[in-house]
Structure formats: structure tokens, C-alpha cells
Amino acid sequence: MFGRGIPIAKLFGIRIEIDLSWLFVFALVSWTLADRVFPEEYPNWSEGTAWTVGIVAALLLFGTVLLHELAHALVAKARGLTVPKISLFIFGGVSHLGRQPSSAREEFSIAAAGPATSILIAGASIGIAFAASGRNEYLEAIFSYLGFVNGVLAAFNLLPGFPLDGGRVLRSIIWGRTRSFRRATEVASGVGVAFGYGLLFAGLGFILFGYLINGIWFAFIGWFLMSAARAEGQSVFLESVLARLRARDVMSTDFAVVPPGMSLAQVVDEYMVSGGHRAVVVALGDQVEGILTVSDVRRYPRAEWPHIPARQAMTPKERVITVDASTPAIQVLMLVGQNRLNQVPVLEDGRMVGLITRRELLDRVQLAGELAANGTAEANGPTRA
């Protein structure tokens, strides 16, 4: 969400990543529990005990947030959507779906799965805490905390502040009534922005009355929700624009072709520096052998470039990710993002007919975004309920 995530696991075929901001939250929660909460509730505990229980509670909280996101992801997968990864960050987590839900019912079931899971976790945790009362202070402390926090998280997530889960539930309801995905997104995004403003002003009020830390958190969350709601609304427009385009519409046919025996020095001088090509096709006649990129060249010391042929440094065609000319541009964009590609060859009837570069694709997305901001174009999303 804020930067490149750190992969920590893979569950049910879904990559689990944490943002560095989550480490800050983990440390903050551990410190709050060990230094403030548990010493007040259990004054007989030693400092070491409070810290140990605090860290365990923070780790289990991390697990419950992950379960919340897995609930979203597994329901989405059961509905036929791809979920390449889950990211955990400062405000919780997000499941990255391969596409938007195709119906209001699908959206509702995916959105509701997370809060439902948090409610179940809260109930189970409170039950365990009650059973441990008077028997095991450590279990009582940990599960009382988990029950309280998951209950609060479920309630907060159900608020209609798009893109919170409650905002997505709201969108699914409006979508079902209007049968317009775009209209539902516009309304839900507007509610989310208003909700964000409310939290922002509440935070400023807290600050004015002397509650500095609470005020900063409320204001920060409000700002985040405003930004996320606006970005989500714009992303739906961008997707609808790109959905009408195919790979052939965004590819460049002006790509460079070099023979396999050409030296890296010659490729760099004649095509990359002079021609401005960040990638060239390596081919012998009509037979494409691979792609040579700037990254491929940089793996070799400059002094060796005159002696290394393009064939040696290139990425062989067997390892190159390609798309068909009829592939929707939105799928190409997701492919580029998920695989961190800088270019994608375009094939038609088995022949390479073009090259899509990340830079040109993002330029097209930026142009669509500028049109979205000015309201100069229309887009229609899915309409099935």
C-alpha cells in the first residue's frame, strides 16, 4: 500500500506480504500492552512477563487481521476471482483481487466475509477469556484483548466509509438497486470521502481540546480514507477505459530487432542510447530468440560489452511473458504490475507484432486519469446484479 511489501508466507496459493509500516504498528501495540495496559490490569506481573504476553498478543492480533483478509480472499477465489497477494500495512490489510467483482451479490459476499470473520474471532476470544478467568491470567489477558480489538475492528469496518468493508457492502446494495456499477462506485466513493472528512475534522477537534495523539490518529485515518475513496473511484474509471482497449491498441510496432551475434556495445550505442529503446528483440530472420533489456545489459561490466553477443545476455523467449494482441489492456496492466515487468511482447498467430512497455502503458493510464479528473469521458462498468 505504501511501498513494496516484504513476502513472509504463501497460503492457499496467495502471497502474504507486510509493509514496513506494519512493523511500526506491531512495535507500538507491543509497547502499549506491555507498558500501559497489562501493568494496570495485572500489577503483580513482572516487566518481563508483561512484555512477553504483550508481544504474544500483538502477534496473535496480526494473525486475526490476516484471517480477516484471508476470509475476503478465499470467498473471492471461491467465486472465481484470482487473488495474487494479501498486503498487511499500518491500517490493517488489503486483499488484491485480479478483477472487480462481476455482480452485486459477488461484491456483497466478498466484502461481508471479513467483518463476519472478525465477529466470530471476537466471540471465540471472549469465550476463551471467560473460561480462563481465575485459572490462567495470561490467556485471560490475551484473549480479552483480542476479543475487544476484533469487535472494534468489525464495527469500524462495517461503517459505510468506502473503501472499508462497509463501504463495499453499501456499493453492492446500490449496485443491486441501480444495476450500474459505475453509479454505485460514485455514490460509495462520495460517502467514503465525506466519512473521511468527518474523521479528519474530529481529529482536529481532539487536537484543539488537548488530545493530541488521538487527534493525530483520527486525522491521519480520515486523510487516508479520503485519499483511498477518491483513488478507488478513479481506478474504476481507468479500468473501464482500459477494458475497451486491447493489447494491439496500446502496443508499439516501432520496436528494434537485432541479430543474436551483435555485441552488447553495439546494441547499447546504436539502439539503446541513440534510438532510445529500453528493450530490443533478438531474432535471426523471422525467428525470435529472446528479448534484451537494459537490465540484462547491466548485469555485465561495461568493459565486457564489446565481447558479449546479444544472444548470451538476452532473456530467452521461453522465459519471456507474452500476451496475445486481443488481450484486454486492463489485463496487460495487471500482468505488468503483478510480475514487475518493464515490457511485454505482443503476439498474433504466433508472430511478434508489437511491444508494450511499462512506460507507454502508464502514460496511457495517466492520460485516462487526467480525463477522469476533468470529467471529459464516460465509462460504464459491469451492470449485472
SS3 370: helix
Tell how many helices (H) and how many strands (E) occur in the chain. 14, 11
Domains in the chain: how many in total?
2
Same domain for 84 and 71, yes or no, is yes
Asked whether residue 294 is domain-assigned, the answer is: yes
The answer on pLDDT for 211 being more than 90 is no
Q: Where does a domain end: 222, 243, 264?
A: 243
Asked whether residue 258 is domain-assigned, the answer is: yes
* Contact indicator for 106, 39 with CB cutoff of 8 Å: no
Same domain for 136 and 274, yes or no, is no
Same domain for 124 and 262, yes or no, is no
Same domain for 221 and 275, yes or no, is no
Q: Which residues, 6+ apart, have CB-to-CB distance to 378 below 8 Å?
A: none
Q: What is the CATH number of the domain that holds 266?
A: 3.10.580.10
Same domain for 77 and 96, yes or no, is yes
Give the pLDDT score at 310. 93
Residue 297's CB: how many other CB atoms inside 10 A? 21
23 or 365: whose pLDDT is higher?
23
Same domain for 181 and 325, yes or no, is no
The answer on pLDDT for 169 being more than 90 is yes
Distance CA 305, CA 256 (A): 19
Same domain for 90 and 140, yes or no, is yes
The answer on pLDDT for 266 being more than 80 is yes
Same domain for 157 and 130, yes or no, is yes
Same domain for 298 and 204, yes or no, is no
pLDDT tens string 320-370? 888 899 888 878 887 887 777 788 888 888 788 888 888 777 777 777 666
State pTM to two decimals: 0.68
Per DSSP bridges, beta strands 85-89 and 14-18 are parallel
Residue 315 dihedral angles phi and psi, to the nearest 5°: -90, 115
Same domain for 228 and 116, yes or no, is yes
Same domain for 156 and 303, yes or no, is no
Domain of 326, in residue numbers: 247-369
Tell me the pLDDT band of 383, cut-offs 50, 70 and 90: very low
The answer on pLDDT for 377 being more than 50 is no
Give the pLDDT score at 373. 55
Asked whether residue 375 is domain-assigned, the answer is: no
Residues comprising the chain, all counted: 385
pLDDT tens string 215-233? 888 888 888 888 888 877 7
